[in-house]
Amino acid sequence: MFENILVVCDGNICRSPTVAALLRELKPEKSVSSAGLVGLEGHDMDPMARDVARANGLECGEHSGRKLTSALCRDVDLILVMETRQRDRIISQFPEASGKTFLLSHWNGGHDIPDPFRRGREVFERIYPMLRQATEAWAGKL
């Protein structure tokens, strides 16, 4: 049912590319991509996010940040976001996506996963297990 999955955060350089890589690893048969509400278009993944992922055994691969668009929302079956405010903004900006936009942590508490951007390594290291746990929960439902 959910074959095309889009993972969304703010800048599309920390959380969403990490989760997209995790989900591709767990569900290689699915088409998984990422975008950002602000979308630092053309930017690579944040070096700290990439390094923490690698330290946890995850290779994220090539990445080029992009901004969320109506077409991206239309062309996917499921949109996973990190924070309630992101879900609210997507639903407001792209009402057609309201029925397919969920918190990444939907299956394990429904809490926001904070943005580690421009914060120390310890924040990235604290966020990574949250991302992994929530992604594994979704993978079990897909």
Active site residue 9: yes
Active site residue 115: yes
Among this protein's residues, is 126 annotated catalytic? no
Question: What percent of the chain shows pLDDT beyond 70?
Answer: 100
Listed by start position, the domains of the chain span: 4-141
Superfamily of domain 4-141: Response regulator (3.40.50.2300)
Query: Of the listed 44, 89, 115, 126, which one is catalytic?
Result: 115
Q: For 73-88, how does the pLDDT look when each residue is reduced to its tens digit (9 = 90+)?
A: 999 999 999 999 999 9
In the predicted model, is pLDDT for residue 39 greater than 80?
no
DSSP of the chain, one letter per residue?
Answer: ---EEEEEESSSSSHHHHHHHHHHHH-TTSEEEEEESS--TTPPPPHHHHHHHHHTT---------B--HHHHHT-SEEEESSHHHHHHHHHH-GGGGGGEEETTGGGT-------TTS-HHHHHHHHHHHHHHHHHHHHH-
List the catalytic residue out of 10, 14, 15, 73.
Answer: 15
| 1: confidence class by pLDDT, cuts 50, 70, 90 | confident
